[in-house]
Each structure stands twice: as C-alpha cells, then as structure tokens.
C-alpha cells in the first residue's frame, strides 16, 4: 500500500521538480520511477509503524502522506541532493522514530493502535517474595 501518489507529489513539490527528477529524456514524468520511489518510501514508513500500529492503517493521516512524499523525493534526488531535501528526509525519519518510541503518535482512531507490551508487574507476578528471598 502506498501512502502517497504522484498527484500528491506534484501538489507538494510542483510538476517541474517531479519532471526534473524523473525525466527519462523526453521532458515528461517517468511514472515507473515515481511509483518505485513511493513504494520504497511507504515500505520504509511501514518498517517503523509496524512496531506500534496494526498495518495496513485503516485511515491514512495527512502527516503520513507528507512523510511519504518527503521520503520519496529524497530517494528521487539520488546523487543530486539538496540540503533542504536531506533535512526533510532526516526530519521524517526522526518523527517516525519518535512515533516508535511513543513520544509522538499518529492521529488515528483508537482501534488502529496495536496493544503495547506492558513492562510493569503486578503484585501477583513478582519475581521475589518473602518466601523466595528467605531461601538466600
């Protein structure tokens, strides 16, 4: 599942830039190159989100569309990197890592979030009790 399409890429970065990044030599966009970059970006996003959310997402928040566009753009720039493009990519990855850590969340319906593993213990599952400590 791709989180962004070529129309969203054009809306964010302009048709001229998308053509310049994918032009196979005929002055037009290379749809296959855009599709590959968007697929790669979506897969990268999934690799982070799968830690905390059930995939596929039932609703795709606009922030995920933006992350996908920024990551795909970064991939399309390849060896011709601009500082702004690299910064947006780095910011996207940082946000994805924050989502995994739980310091940021996606604005999703509550049923989409996966159940987190509890790291707390109750009285009933204590490792040491008075009885087990007396043996030492």
Per residue in 114-131, pLDDT (tens digit) is: 444 334 444 555 555 555
Summarize the confidence of residues 45-62 as an average pLDDT.
95
77 contacts 88 by C-beta, under 8 angstroms: no
Number of domains into which the chain is organized = 1
Summarize the confidence of residues 2-15 as an average pLDDT.
96
Per residue in 35-50, pLDDT (tens digit) is: 999 999 999 999 999 9
The whole-angstrom separation of Cα 115 and Cα 117 is 7
Residue 73 lies in a domain: yes
Say which DSSP state 53 is in.
B
Residue 60 lies in a domain: yes
Non-local (6+) Cβ contacts of 22 within 8 A are: 29, 30, 33, 34, 76
- Given a cut of 80, whether residue 57 has pLDDT beyond it is yes
pLDDT score, position 134: 55
Residue 42 lies in a domain: yes
Q: If pLDDT is split at 50, 70 and 90, which confidence band does 28 have?
A: very high
Cα Dmax for the chain: 82
- Residue 51: which of 120, 117, 119, 121 has the closest Cα? 117
Residue 99 lies in a domain: yes
For residue 21, what are the domain limits?
6-134
Per residue in 73-121, pLDDT (tens digit) is: 999 998 787 999 999 999 999 999 999 999 999 998 765 444 443 344 4
Residue 93 lies in a domain: yes
**Cα–Cα distances in angstroms (integers) from residue 132 to residues 17, 101, 120, 128, in the given order:** 68, 35, 20, 6
Residue 69 lies in a domain: yes
Residue 83 lies in a domain: yes
Instruction: Determine what percent of the chain is predicted with pLDDT higher than 90.
Output: 73
Phi and psi torsions of 121, nearest 5°:
-120, 150
Residue 1 lies in a domain: no
Summarize the confidence of residues 13-25 as an average pLDDT.
94
In degrees, to the nearest 5, what angle opens at C-alpha 86 toward C-alphas 43 and 58? Answer: 30
76 contacts 12 by C-beta, under 8 angstroms: no
């Amino acid at each position: 599942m791709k989180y962004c399409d070529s129309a969203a890429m054009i809306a964010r970065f302009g048709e001229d830039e998308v053509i310049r990044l994918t032009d196979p030599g005929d002055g037009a966009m290379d749809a296959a190159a855009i599709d590959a970059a968007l697929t790669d970006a979506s897969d990268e996003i999934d690799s982070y989100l799968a830690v905390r959310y059930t995939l596929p997402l039932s609703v795709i928040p606009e922030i995920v569309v933006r992350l996908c566009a920024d990551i795909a753009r970064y991939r399309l720039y390849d060896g011709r990197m601009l500082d702004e493009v690299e910064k947006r990519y780095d910011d996207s990855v940082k946000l994805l890592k924050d989502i995994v850590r739980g310091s940021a969340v996606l604005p999703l319906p509550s049923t989409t979030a996966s159940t987190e593993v509890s790291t707390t213990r109750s009285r009933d599952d204590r490792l040491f009790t008075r009885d087990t400590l007396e043996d030492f």
